[in-house]
Each structure stands twice: as C-alpha cells, then as structure tokens.
C-alpha cells in the first residue's frame, strides 16, 4: 500500500497532459428545456436561428409625421412646406390609413409606417395648426424609418450553443419570440471533506482540530461554475466510510470531489481506495500549489481528490475541476475567468522549474497601466491570501519566474 | 398634461446630478442571518473579526519528524545524526507525547507540534531503521512549523461589510468557525413593461406588434445586481391600469421599474401618473441612449421609468437602477462591472456634446494591448449590439468624442 502511494508521486504529470487525459473521458450532459425568462446563467445548448425579422415591420424611429419624402423637398425654416394631417397611428395599432401625395400621418416611435409613406419627419421640425402641418425641413426616403429585418433578417444565426446566458441574451431571445430554450443540464457533483481533524462550523473548536472550510468553499465553486451539488459531507479518515461514499456517489454523480487524504501521509487512504474501486488516471501534477492531486474514474464518474490545504484545493478546482464541469456543459469558453493584462510590480523567481506556479496577485491601477503585486509567494493553507488578492498569474513549467515590468495575464477570481 | 410632459424634457439633468438626487433618497435594506455555506453572492452586512487564531495551534507544514532543532545541528548527507523515534502524532490527534533531547515524533502535515519540539524535518531528508532515524539535514528552530496565529491572529478584522461573498470568502469565514453571517436583505423590485404593441413570447406575433423583451431582460438584471423580483407584468397603455399597479407596488417594493411610456408620445402616460401619485425627481437625463428616462418617488419606493427601446433600457439600468440596488445593499463598490483599460481602434465623434454617450465596444487582444472596437454607433433598439459586444465606453459630457489610440476604460457587461 505504501508503495502504491509513492508510485503516484514519483512521476508528476504535466497539467496540460492531465487536462487532456480528463477531457478524453469527459461526457456531455443532456439538454433540457427551460423558459427563456428563467435561463439566466444557464449554458445555451442549441444554435439559435431567428424565425422572424427584426424589426418585424417598417417602423418609425422617431415621434413625428409619416410622409412621402418628395412632399418635403425644398422645405426649410424660411420656406416651410404645408401638408395635411389625415390621422394618427399609435404604437401596436393595425391601421388602414395610407398616405397620399400632400398628406401626413402622426406617428409615434415604434409605430408601423403606413402605406404610401417612406419617411418620418421629427415632431420638432414641424408645427401644426388645426390639420395643416408646416414642415421646416426636408427628408430623404427612408429617413427615420427602421426597415423590416434591417437589424436581424429572418434566418440569421444569432446565438451559438455553449454561451452562458446573460440578461442581454434573454432580451434578444425574447424579442425573437423564444419562450423556451434548450440548455445543458447541470453536472451533478458529490463533495467530501476528509480528515479526523475537521470540525464543522457552529461547534466549539477542540484543541488540535480545525474548522472544515473546504466543503463550503468547493460547493460554492461548483455552483459558480454551473454544477449542482447533490451531496456534501465531512468524513473521518476511515477507509470503509470513504469507500462506501465513493461507491454511492458513483451511482448518481458525474463528478466526485474529495479534499484531503490524497497525499502520502499515514492516513491518506484515497489513492488506494480509488485504485481498488476504479482507475487512478493521474496522481501528482507538476503544479504549485496543488501537486498532491489525484484524479481517477469509476464507472461514469470522474473523481478529483484535491489537497486538503484550502488554497491548493482552490487552485486545483479553478485549473482542473471547474474546466471539467464547463466541458460537461459544452461551454464554448472552458475557462470563465476574465483575463486582465498587467505589469509585474517586482521580480518573482520560482522555487523549482518544471512546475507550473500559480501566483496570487493584487491589481493596482497606475495611470493607463495595471500593476500586478504578488500577495504571498507561499503558504497554500492561507485562505486570506485569496481574499486579499484579485487573481492568479500562471508561471509556466519552463520559466524561471517573472521579472519586474513583464506583461502578464491575470485570471481574475470567479 | 401635454405641457407637463414637455416641462420634464426642456431641461435635461446631468447623469451625476441625477445619481446624487437618487442617492439622497435611497434607504438601506435590513440585515438578515444566513448560513455561511449558503451565503454565496450575498452582500456581507457586518465587519468580521476573527475570534480564533489561524492556525489555531502550532502545526506541522510537512510530513516528517518533530524534533528539537539543536539535535539536528551538524547533520548532513555524509554525517547523519541519529535520533530515536518515540511515537506518531496524527492530524487532529490530541497527544500527551513530548519530545525530549535525542527524541523525535513522526508527524503529518497539519498535525499539532508536540511539546518539547520546535521544528520538523521533512520525511525525504530522513531514513528509518526500526526506531532509529537518520537525519541527513539540519533545521533551525521554527523550520516547517506554522505558528499559532501566524496567518490570522485572533482579533483581526478580516472582512468588511459591503463585499459580495465569493467562494474564497466562504472558505475564510468557515475556517474561522462562522456558521451564520449577517447579510443584507435583497431590495424588492416590481417590473412593468408598458405598451399596446407588446406581445408575450410563446404567442404568434400579430402584424405591427413586437415581442416583450424588456421585462425578462430587466428581471435578469435585477437578479444579477442582487435584487429580488416580486412582480413582473406587461401592461397596456391604459392610465388607470398603470396607476393601479404603481400604487400597489408602492406598498411592497423598494424599487418600481417601468419600461416604455415615458417619452413625449401621445400615449406616454407615466410622467403624469408619477406626478399625480408621487413626485417626479428627474425627467430626462443628458445621456445617449436613455435620455427620456423618468425617475420619481412614491412613499418609500423609488420609481424608474426607462425608455422602451431595449438598449436604452439596458444602459439606464446599468448606469442608474443597478447602482441604486447596490446602494440599498450597502455595497462598498456600487458598480460591480469589471473595468478593462483598452485602446480605441478608431475615431468616434459624438453627435452632440453635453450628453454622456454610452458606446458599445468589442474587445480584441493585440499583443500586450487590448483594442476597443465600436460595434454600433447608434440604434438603441438593436439588442444584438449588446450580445455582439463586450462592454461600454463612457464618453463624458464635455468630450467631443474619442480618438483612435486613446486609452479608454471599458466596463464589461455584468
């Protein structure tokens, strides 16, 4: 058993290779229908083709008068043209009124342009006396008219599968009449924090124990990344108990996450349990923090055993588990984090090349530049290094570090 | 009545002045308690002081042996020091074992440092034969030991009221034992889309009508900004109906939002209704798009009548309504949008100085720069100008526009 634990660690896998390995085993979730108005933050599961024209009819872009443009030709402040008002068309109204030469119809922004007219004169450029309107400006045909289909002609592909649905998408989809949408089902996730030292919050803290912060953190991240937590438990360092929960979760979860119990400590049972029940895909990745991670599979489930130190667990989630959830969701952009280009405020040498290093940085605006200030160069247990920083700079395996003044990409925390 | 509508518009208010006016009338929501693990995305309503030390005890930062550092002095690969192993301390274990001179205790990462020892030698730097351990390296006192309180001493203020709670905050708060938190109650919001031309999605589209896209959009934005929708309806251009709903909403909503019916069209009843029932604070803001906005108050409610054109309604929400919701929530950062510094890809003159212009731009990475490309210079009805762009550049009232090469701040869409 001891040997098995050590075999995993003797050969660290590169992060990119581990991601490829996982990707080849990741299956997509199913499609379900939801109401458009309730689709906020879901992942769109279909390409959307407009079945109507936008605007759906020629409509006025202004409050004013629908006219035949040629009737206004030559009009000016000193030489207004006089045209007869024959009626009004309201927004949403279906009217039989038509404009003949020398006639105009009062019309509001958004109302349909009546037959016979080809342009709209703004109300500000007119004056009315009974039914005789004076036009103080001339317009060309098409002026102040939004043409049917000019924004989105029927048949246009307007959204692609794989986007995260925001308020503006909901507006666009609603304007095209989509009442329901196909979105991806949320991957189901089981979460276990493992360790005899863990005490749940709300209880007094006995000596030599620590509060469990990993399962609430991981559960929040799962939610942020679009997964659904089906089970969240703390477990003792008890092999039988851990095994039982792993097997149970493999019947209903696409992803099973453990924190703790994954290294080479005397009570780190997870490597042998995963080996006995399923398959160990990767044990140990050349990343700092996070190297003791173990990834496995069991039936249709992927298993992620993250280090128990919170910052390491957090970094592993962002770099590996979160990306897997987004792949299951069919996201066009697997990493949802916003990237900011910044300039390193100081030299940052790395302890050991061959590892990808995840550096926590705080951003500071300085003129038209953004500076990245490292907040903590080590200490993967120190959660406040996350709450006191803005994002992560990745220092790749072949780099000796970062130099002051280097342009770096900062991945903002989700 | 007609005069009243026009009075509002004859004098446009500057956006900043309007925001100050609203801010002076904005009241804060109450505090409620929620479980820490369910506090994701809520706004923290209290300053948090740590009641414990982190780490709560001196603990090992490595798997190895707890020793008295002086017993290792002089140890090297060629000249190992031999020390006697007297036992093991597991993580979470409360042990009476103590280290005497010439003794060592096997210890795992995270376990409590036993009395008598002051440092830990990594397992990799040792070799064990029965109970005799050879140490191949020397350590100084404190080596590989995380001291009690070294990360967060008891009594430290670790989080301030007004932050939006993320996964990392939940981890930090849990690690300090906080089981429940005070967060701000969500402001209650009523939403009405007004207009005879509106048809709900899911129905066929009669001629000269359009689908209602504003209420689902505004409702999603309210959710994104931390509010709670209590009512969402479409209303005809019917003065009595609008008035009835406004009065009803003023009994249970801190914010009441209308879209449409706010301009100077023949059926724009909102200005007179707000004037009759409550107080018109602002009618018309020098902003494009969005100028016909009307803001009012009625008892404890703020009323926002946004233009019916979706892009204008969207921009007004981001610049005015969203900020008001966040102020009610006590957010330390009233505008939650992420700001990116980018370079304008082309000249953008504005039509009329004196207005703040909201320019939709798409971002494009170019080397270590980010370019901002204007997607659409006009057309406040065109929702696809939002879904095809990444954010907004604000061109302030006194500017004639942007020049190619200018550094601009892009506010990413929420």
**Considering A275, A307, A328, which residue would you say is the last residue of a domain?**
A328
Question: What residue of A is the nearest CA neighbor of B53?
Answer: A210
Report CB contact under 8 Å: A208, B57: yes
Q: What confidence tens digit (pLDDT) does each residue in B69-122 have?
A: 999 999 999 999 999 999 999 888 888 999 999 999 999 888 999 999 999 999
Cβ-defined contact of B175 to A110 (cutoff 8 Å): no
Residues in chain A predicted with pLDDT less than 70, given as ranges, are 1-10, 262-266, 376-381
Contacts of B167 in chain A (CB under 8 A): 217-218, 220-221, 224, 314, 414
Shared domain for A263 and A361, answered yes or no, is no
Final residue in a domain of this structure, among A328, A353, A388: A328
Q: How crowded is residue A299: how many other Cβ atoms within 10 Å of its Cβ?
A: 9
pLDDT of the residue at A6: 43
Instruction: Give the CATH number, domain containing residue B393.
Output: 2.40.340.10
Long-range contacts at A111-116 (CB < 8 A, ≥ 24 apart): A111/A59, A111/A60, A111/B197, A111/B208, A112/A57, A112/A58, A112/A59, A112/A60, A112/B207, A112/B208, A113/A57, A113/A58, A113/A59, A113/A60, A113/A66, A113/A145, A114/A66, A114/A89, A116/A68
Contact A56 B205 (CB under 8 A): yes
Closest residue in A to B93 (Cα) is A208
Scan for tokens 């690690």, then name that residue: B175
For residue B151, is it within any domain? no
Residue ranges of A 268-307 with Cβ closer than 8 A to chain B? none
- Report the number of distinct structural domains present in chain A: 4
Q: Which residues pair with B282 in a beta bridge?
A: B295
CATH code at position A196: 3.40.980.10
- The secondary structure of chain B in percent helix, strand, coil, rounded to multiples of 5, reads 20, 35, 45
Residue among B147, B144, B117, B142 at smallest CA distance from B54 = B147
Token reading at B106: 């096997």
Tokens of A163: 């986007």
Residue A220, in any domain of the structure: yes
Is the Cβ pair A201, B179 closer than 8 Å? yes
Same domain, B303 and B193: yes
Q: Over pLDDT 90: what percentage of chain B? A: 85
Specify whether B46 is located in the same domain as B113.
no
Residue whose tokens read 């780490």: B55
CA atoms of A163 and B392, how far apart (whole Å):
20
Residue A229, domain member (yes or no): yes
What CATH number did the domain enclosing A107 receive? 2.170.190.11
Indicate if B230 and B243 belong to the same structural domain. Answer: yes
Task: Confirm whether B47 is domain-assigned.
Answer: yes
- Stretch B224-235: mean pLDDT: 97
Nearest CA in chain B to A211: B175
Q: Residue B110: its chain A contacts at CB < 8 A?
A: 195, 197, 210, 308-309
In degrees, to the nearest 5, what angle opens at C-alpha A224 toward C-alphas A262 and B162? 110
The verdict on residue A333 lying in a domain is no
Residue whose pair of structure tokens reads 């212009």 in the numeric block: B357
Do residue A252 and residue A266 come from a single domain? yes
Chain A hits for B216, Cβ within 8 Å: 36-37, 170-171, 174
User: What six digits make up the tokens of B246?
Assistant: 């406004």
Both B316 and B178 in one domain: the answer is no
Same domain, A194 and A284: yes
pLDDT at B7 over 50: no
Residue B9, pLDDT above cutoff 70: no
- A295 and A249, same domain (yes or no): yes
Range of the domain at A72: 59-146
- Note whether B384 contacts A158, CB cutoff 8 Å: yes
Q: Which of A110, A205, A266 sits opposite B90 (nearest CB)?
A: A266
Across chain A, what does the average pLDDT equal? Answer: 93
The residue that leads in pLDDT, B8 or B309, is: B309
Last residue of a domain, one of B328, B358, B392: B328
DSSP state of B115: B
Mutate one of A91, A93, A363 to test the B interface: name it (highest B CB count within 10 A): A91
The token duo for A190 is 């089981």
Residues B70 and B107 in one domain: yes
Looking at the structure, do residues A110 and A90 belong to the same domain, yes or no? yes
Count CB-CB contacts under 10 A for residue B286.
20
Task: Convert the pLDDT of each residue in B323-363 to its tens digit.
Answer: 999 999 999 999 999 999 999 999 999 888 899 999 999 99
pLDDT tens for residues B129-161? 999 999 999 999 999 999 999 889 999 999 999
User: Is B333 a member of any domain?
Assistant: no
Tokens of B216: 């689902």
**Interface touch A168/B40, C-beta < 8 Å:** no
pLDDT digits (tens, 9 = 90+) for A267-276: 789 999 999 9
| A 67-106 near B (Cβ less than 8 A) | 88, 90-94, 106
Higher pLDDT, A177 or B8: A177
Is B146 in contact with A214 (Cβ distance < 8 A)? no
Return the higher-pLDDT residue of A340 and B380: A340
Residue A312 has φ and ψ, to the nearest 5°, of -65, -45
Which positions ≥6 away from A225 have C-beta within 8 Å?
Answer: A321, A322, A325, A326, A336, A414
d(CA B312, CA A139): 25
- Which residues between 126 and 185 in chain A have a beta carbon less than 8 angstroms from any beta carbon of chain B? 146, 151-152, 158-159, 166-180
Preceding peptide of B289 cis, ω within 30°: yes
In terms of C-beta density within 10 A (0-12 exposed, 13-18 middle, 19 or more buried), how is residue A1 classed? exposed
Q: Is the peptide bond before A55 cis (omega within 30 degrees of 0)?
A: yes
Give chain B's mean pLDDT. Answer: 93
Over range B22-36, report the average pLDDT.
Answer: 97
Distance separating alpha carbons of residues B200 and B386, to the nearest angstrom: 21
Work out the minimum CA distance from B189 to partner chain A, whole angstroms.
Answer: 16
Do A180 and A34 meet the contact criterion of CB atoms below 8 Å apart? yes
Q: Are residues A23 and A37 in the same domain?
A: no
Does the residue A154 lie in any domain?
no
Question: Is residue B152 in some structural domain?
Answer: no
Give the pLDDT of residue B376. 67
- Among partner residues A175, A208, A387, which is closest to B169 by beta-carbon distance? A387
Q: Indicate if B176 and B284 belong to the same structural domain.
A: no
In sequence order, what are the beta bridge partners of A334? none
pLDDT at A382: 79
The CATH number of residue A41's host domain is 3.90.105.10
């Amino acid at each position: 058993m001891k040997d098995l634990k050590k075999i995993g660690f003797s050969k660290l896998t590169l992060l990119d290779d581990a991601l490829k390995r996982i990707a080849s085993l990741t299956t997509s979730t199913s499609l379900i229908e939801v109401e458009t108005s309730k689709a906020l933050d879901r992942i769109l599961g279909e390409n959307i083709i407009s079945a109507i024209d936008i605007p759906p009819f020629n409509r006025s872009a202004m409050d004013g008068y629908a006219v035949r443009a040629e009737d206004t030709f030559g009009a000016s402040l000193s030489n207004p043209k006089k045209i007869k008002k024959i009626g009004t068309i309201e927004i949403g109204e279906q009217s039989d009124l038509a404009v003949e030469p020398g006639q105009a119809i009062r019309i509001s922004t958004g109302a349909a342009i009546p037959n016979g007219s080809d342009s709209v004169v703004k109300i500000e450029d007119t004056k009315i006396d009974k039914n005789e309107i004076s036009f103080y400006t001339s317009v060309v045909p098409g002026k102040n008219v939004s043409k049917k289909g000019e924004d989105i002609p029927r048949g246009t592909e307007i959204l692609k599968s794989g986007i995260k649905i925001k308020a503006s998408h909901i507006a666009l989809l609603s304007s095209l009449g989509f009442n329901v949408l196909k979105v991806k089902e949320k991957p189901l996730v089981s979460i276990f924090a493992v360790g005899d030292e863990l005490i749940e919050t709300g209880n007094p803290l006995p000596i030599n124990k620590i509060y469990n912060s990993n399962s609430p953190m991981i559960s929040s991240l799962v939610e942020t990344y679009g997964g659904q937590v089906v089970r969240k438990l703390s477990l003792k360092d008890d092999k039988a108990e851990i095994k039982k929960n792993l097997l149970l979760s493999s019947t209903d979860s696409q992803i099973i996450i453990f924190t703790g119990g994954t290294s080479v400590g005397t009570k780190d049972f997870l490597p042998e349990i995963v080996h006995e029940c399923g398959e160990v895909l990767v044990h140990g990745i050349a990343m700092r923090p996070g190297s003791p991670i173990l990834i496995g599979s069991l039936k249709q489930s992927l298993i992620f055993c993250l280090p128990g130190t919170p910052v390491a667990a957090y970094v592993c989630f962002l770099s590996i588990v979160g990306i897997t959830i987004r792949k299951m969701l069919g996201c066009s952009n697997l990493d949802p984090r916003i990237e900011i280009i910044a300039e390193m405020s100081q030299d940052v040498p790395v302890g050991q090349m061959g590892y990808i290093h995840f550096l926590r940085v705080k951003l500071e605006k300085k003129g038209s530049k953004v500076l990245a200030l490292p907040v903590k160069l080590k200490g993967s247990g120190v959660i406040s290094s996350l709450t006191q920083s803005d994002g992560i700079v990745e220092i790749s395996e072949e780099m000796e570090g970062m130099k002051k003044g280097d342009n770096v990409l900062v991945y903002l925390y989700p």
